[in-house]
Structure 1
Amino acid sequence: MPSPALSAARTPAPALPALPQHAPLVTAIRDGLVESVHYGSAIAMAADGSTVASAGEPSKPFYPRSSLKPLQAVAMVRAGLELPADLLALAAASHSGAAKHREGALRILELHGLSVNAFDNSTDLPYGAREREEWLRTGGAATQLTQNCSGKHAAMAATCVVNGWPVHGYLDPSHPLQQLVAKTVRDLTDEEPFTVSTDGCGTPLFALTLQGMARAFGLIAAAAGTGAYDDGGPVPRSAAAAVGLAMQQHPDMVAGEGRDVTALMRLLPGSVAKDGFEGVQLVGLADGSAVAVKISDGGDRARMPATVKLLEALGVDTARLSGIATAPVLGGGHQVGLLQATDFLNHSSEPVNEAL
């Protein structure tokens, strides 16, 4: 009788899905030699939905990961959730886990008569390096509160209370909240999801295209630009405006100090930006245009160089973004090279499959 190891070895591997055809977007150059190349797909879209520039295959489905959070927040506001702007920004956040983020998630719960027992997300240490080190120094462990999606989950539980929906099971795709999220995602992206999976925190995750996600971020940023103001703060005219304005006013709640997404929104007024695991970046601009990036190997360091390159294609003056558009390559503690975007917007060759 064959051993289990032999049996497993003889079992044919499942067929791989078709691999996307990506383009080289970002390189790491060490002393004049290209040491590493990050491939991916990207698109810059005008407000009318036309493509200004693209690379790779932006029409192929991908998982937007946490860049879906602003769309999920729009769904919650549509469902009647009302929060102060800083807490609404936290609902759309992948926060670093600083004290203000943890306390903000608790405030959302307390405003709706809930406790941390309402959370149904996974546990994790704070996402930010400094925040994680501080948490560990004080004896902290992985919790649902410190997990980077806790603001979103607190808001989801609160939305259930507002509508009289069961809090238990709020992540189930058949739950009224997730049904509304799915409809909102379809509305904003103008796409039917190719498939539905589960994100790292446990939330339903939709496979969409970079084109569809760019459209959604352009709509959210443009809506924020139509918001009216009074002494009490923004009085948005739509759920999309409420979310966009909150993110613009509180970029530190969307990510955290030292995070490139927070820096981008501070440096580029009128923008709405959100990153996602596995090399995803979305940015919407006040005129309704937007850019979307997916790095094929999931490399986080390549997100922002490619994003800034795309913003150039939309006519954005990116000089102020130079600090996040590149990063030094070090040798012996000294700079010996640079991480930088390729000239992919001007590259005329066909996309390639770097796995072949």
Structure 2
Amino acid sequence: MEQVLVEEYRNETLECLHRGHICGVGPDGQVKYEVGDADFVAFLRSAGKPFQAIPGVRAGIKEAYELTDQEIAIMTASHRGESFHLETLSHLMDHTGLEQSNLVCAESYPMHRGSREQIIRNQGHEQRVYHNCSGKHFGVLSYCKLMGYPLEGYEDPGHPVQQEIVETLSMMAELPADQIARGTDGCGLPVFALPLKHIARAYLKLSCPELIEDEKTREAVQKITAAMHAHPEMVSGTNRICTTLMEDTNIIAKGGFKGIYGFSLRQEQLGFAFKIVDGSDEEWAHIVVSILEQIGYANQQTIHRIRERFPSAIRNDAGKIVGHTKEVFHL
């Protein structure tokens, strides 16, 4: 049931098709918009990070370790390893007493090209803190330390913190925990798969926490999303689509590897999730902006900013326009 979402043309000849599924839900959690199959099951990957941060913030890690909003925001991040990311991670380690050696994610170089090149020029080496998921890991470990849980094995699905994460996701997504499929993410932590309509419901509650019945969870979500809005660059990086969207305080957004994306709109009380089935993420911005345009989103500045930073023109390595991208789906 997947449908073509985006076409790519080189000159005027069709070169690539990107198929997928889109689901949008309203305040009652029911499907309001659908392209393809709203019941398509997709792994959340890094789009799950805001939910993985909830147990720790709910338990009081922000207050216990005197964490800043930057440090909370980077717990939801797929950071690029830019200088401000690394500075925040350093402060996070100082405040919590955690070290890189506590992390199970692999050593790597920053994903941000300039930062990576600078480290290599300075004869630096791969480190766990450079991994784009390190903020999430420090968030989970901070919670373990606060609760007295063992730090070793925090990645094990049977660890108390992982059990609480899946229970929290179950509540936010309105899906029984035993119906959430499990796997192992690239960073080593458990990752969860569920239908797009339930991902959209969970994202709706990030923008509309008043829909969350549990008071402590509601307060934690408010702290997390406030930090993401205050420091959107922490959640991804300079001029990334997540950053661009959350410069608009009406929107919460987070993408994940292999083409999954979730975002929600507070004033409109809408939650969206979509999956590009070939796993590409280059089309995220084009799909999001087309959704916003099709629903008549009022903030034209946001739409203009997306179109400006993520133009439809395809350029070659020398910067010459050689083709274009076209959104072709209809909600």
TM-score, normalised to structure 1, is 0.83
Q: Number of aligned pairs?
A: 315
Q: Which residue of 1 aligns with 2:291?
A: 310
| Structure 1 SS opposite 2:151 | coil
**1:63 aligned residue (28, 40, 43):** 43
Give the superposed CA RMSD.
2.1
Alignment partners' CA distance in 2, 1:241 and 1:210: 23
**Which residue in the other structure is 2:194 paired with?**
208
Question: SS at 2:209's partner residue?
Answer: helix
1:1-356 aligned at under 5 Å gives the runs: 21-82=1-62, 83-192=67-176, 193-223=179-209, 238-266=219-247, 268-287=248-267, 288-317=269-298, 318-324=303-309, 326-330=311-315, 333-342=319-328, 344-345=329-330
Once the two structures are TM-superposed, the CA of residue 173 in structure 1 deviates from its matched residue by 0.9
SS at match of 2:81: coil
Instruction: Give the match's secondary structure for 1:283.
Output: strand
Structure 1 residue ranges without an equivalent (≥5): 1-20, 227-235, 347-356
Task: Kindly state the Cα deviation for residue 312 of structure 1 after the two structures are TM-superposed.
Answer: 2.7
1:325 touches 1:340 (CA, 8 Å); kept in 2?
no
Q: Which runs of 4+ in 1 moved over 4 A?
A: none
Give the AA of the match of 2:231.
H
Q: Deviation at 1:320?
A: 3.9
Query: For the residues of structure 2 that align with 1:224 and 1:100, how far apart are their CA atoms?
Result: 32
**In structure 2, distance between residues paired with 1:224 and 1:336:** 47
Rounded to whole Å, the distance in 2 between the matches of 1:124 and 1:313 is: 40
TM (normalized to structure 2)? Answer: 0.89
Query: Structure 1 residues 338, 224: closer, same or farther in 2, change over 3 A?
Result: farther
CA distance in 1, matches of 2:274, 2:14: 22
**Aligned pair in 2 of structure 1 residues 324, 55: CA closer, same or farther (>3 Å)?**
farther
Q: Is the 8 A contact 1:197 1:206 kept in 2?
A: yes
Larger Rg: 1
1:329, distance to aligned residue in structure 2 (A): 1.6
Instruction: Tell me, yes or no, if the aligned pair for 1:65 and 1:276 is still in contact at 8 Å.
Output: yes
CA distance in 2, matches of 1:308, 1:225: 26
How far does the alpha carbon of each residue in 1:150-209 deviate from its partner, in whole angstroms, 9 at most, with x for none? 111111111111111111111111111111101111011111344210000011011112
Show structure 2 runs of 5+ residues with no match.
none
SS of the residue 1:27 aligns to: strand
Could you say if the C-alpha distance between residues 136 and 225 of structure 1 is closer, same or farther in structure 2, counting changes exceeding 3 Å?
farther
Paired residues of 2:244 and 2:305 also in contact (CA < 8 A):
no
